[in-house]
Amino acid sequence: MSARIVVLVSGGGTNLQALLDATADPSYGAEVVAVGADRDGIEGLARAERAGVPTFVAKVGAHATRDDWDSALAAEVAAYEPDLVVLAGFMKLVGPQFLGAFGGRTVNTHPALSPSFPGMQGPRDALEYGVKVTGATLFVVDAGVDTGQIVAQAVVPVEDDDTVETLHERIKVAERTMLVESVGRMVREGFVVDGRRVRFGA
């Protein structure tokens, strides 16, 4: 049976596209049953619509408090009964209501090698620090900023002439492959979180 995935996005959605492409093959073991966003008018939502996948938007500003938004987001996601939630370029921190419902089965992809360079500017911070390798990290979402248990990482070299944009683009190529491979293994093999460590398998 195919696992049900809800993907949350805030932007261009190339990671989402990689998942949409992968899940088109039934042997992948999962389907994207909905795509949610915290804003409208983004290419990520257009990608979902082109693929015939239902979408929803939950804007922070449409709610009186951040907690109300968090509850509304959790309710929107819950309506699609996902086995796994994938944050793919989702530029908001989910809160306690969301984590109460989906903690332990929500993963996020971050464009740096955790625990280095958490936050919104992973590629810029890595470039400014002067590291020679960086990459992408898939992790199980917890209440912190990019602090959850690591599912997978992909390493990318930093070139002398990199800008934030060229580095981020190189990271995203590796990130999409890592995301598709790792989410596929999570849904087909299962996964276990044991302290800080994550392993595939029941």
Task: Catalog residues that contact ligand GAR under the rule CB under 6 A.
Answer: 9, 11-16, 44, 88-89, 91, 109-111, 120, 122, 172, 175
CB nearer to ligand GAR: pick between 10 and 97:
10
Cβ at position 185, least distance to ligand GAR in Å: 19
Comparing CB distances to ligand GAR, the nearer of 141 and 187 is: 141
Nearer to ligand GAR, 77 or 171 (CB): 171
Among 112, 116, 109, 118, which residue's Cα sits nearest to residue 141? Answer: 109
> Tokens in use for 81?
């009964």
- Nearer CB in complex with ligand GAR: 41/201: 41
Residues belonging to the active site = 110
Residue 100 has φ and ψ, to the nearest 5°, of -60, -35
Place of tokens 């959605």: 13
Percent helix, strand, coil in the chain, to 5, is 40, 25, 35
Residue 124 CB neighbours (<10 A): 18
Beta strands in 18-174 (DSSP E): 30-37, 55-57, 84-87, 106-110, 133-140, 150-157
CA distance 109 to 22: 17
Residue nearest to ligand GAR (CB): 89
Q: How near is the Cβ of 121 to ligand GAR at its closest, in Å?
A: 8
CB of 54 to ligand GAR, least distance (A): 19
Considering the complex, what minimum distance in angstroms separates the CB of residue 119 from ligand GAR?
A: 7
